[in-house]
Amino acid sequence: METITIGNSAVVTSRIGLGTWAIGGWMWGGTDEAESIATIQSAVARGITLIDTAPVYGFGRSEEIVGKAIKEGGLRDKVQLATKLGLAWKDGKVFRDGRGTRIRQDLEDSLRRLRTDRIDLYQVHWPDLETPLEETAETLETLRQEGKILSIGVSNFSPSQMDAFRAVARLDAVQPPYNLFERGIETSELPYATRTGLTVLSYGALCRGLLSGRMLADTVFEGDDLRRYDPKFNGEHFTQYLRAVEELRELAWRRYGKSVLALALRWVLDQGPTVALWGARHPGQLDPVPDAMGWTLDAEGKMEIEDVLTRCIRSPVGPEFMAPPLKRPELV
């Protein structure tokens, strides 16, 4: 397993991280606790040491499951726990809240659910445009100096927002959506991170399962599954993306003897100071992990990938549908 140091901190972690949004159940059709615990423990056994979660994933459920899996497995000193602040909820509806008093409460709640005394990487989930960034940053820097958090990250922040944040606190990481199909950060956040020494935690490295190679044209998403509302998984968009996956599958096997999943992860890892976050829900889904390690894409392979994407995806869509509302509800 390849490793990376998170920014300017002393936190060293695996370059593949286990994302646990799906394990929380909410917007992913529920969760099976025993299966989720087995998945987390299996990930660690395979060399994945970064576990990325958030309070809003299942409204605390994901953190609770992660905490239980780590505690029961005696794994705390073998993993780096990354969680988030800055999203709250009321009556099942999510909103942004980066106020200093809220952050301290969020941290205590996360520590309790995760059954730990420290967070290795604490990240602002979304910028709260109703709270000065300086207030959020100052609170986090104080928590870092107190030893309750070991490194600081932001998620879904623009370079200008990160500049404002870095004027007050040491920033170590940024977590944007990034994969073969969602590449908006290549002209903004990625070069910014490279220039300023930030580690990029790429969430959605498999684009919500599209790049797993397991989806078919007749795949149905039910219940509260967020892919029901993702334009990529509907109509002609879905057809275009599936066509691209099929061509990438052929390319991956022909050039590298790898699966399309391994190709997608390797592509993310080859883009710079990156970590690929992978949202597995069952231990068996982690079997391809070794296939993404120990090799790199060559120049000709990269050119072939670009050709596939250009030919197959005529009307690309981004991940913007996932952004929470900008305004807090009244009386919060």
Tokens of 32: 């099976």
Residues 6+ apart with CB under 8 A from 238: 217, 232
| Residue keyed to tokens 């593949």 | 16
CA pair distance 160, 163, nearest whole angstrom: 5
User: Dihedrals φ, ψ of 226, to 5°?
Assistant: -65, -20
Start-end of H helices in the chain: 33-45, 61-73, 100-114, 133-146, 159-166, 189-196, 235-256, 260-269, 299-312
Separation in Å, CA 286 to CA 112, 203, 216, 253, 282: 28, 16, 20, 19, 8
Q: Which of 52, 7, 53 is nearest to 166 (CA)?
A: 7
| Residue keyed to tokens 């050709």 | 307
Report the SS3 class of residue 132: coil
Cβ–Cβ under 8 Å, residues 181 and 232: yes
Rg (CA), the chain: 19
**What is the set of active-site residues?**
57
Query: SS3 helix, strand, coil % of the chain, rounded to 5?
Result: 45, 15, 40
Query: How many CB atoms are located within 10 Å of the residue 72 CB?
Result: 12
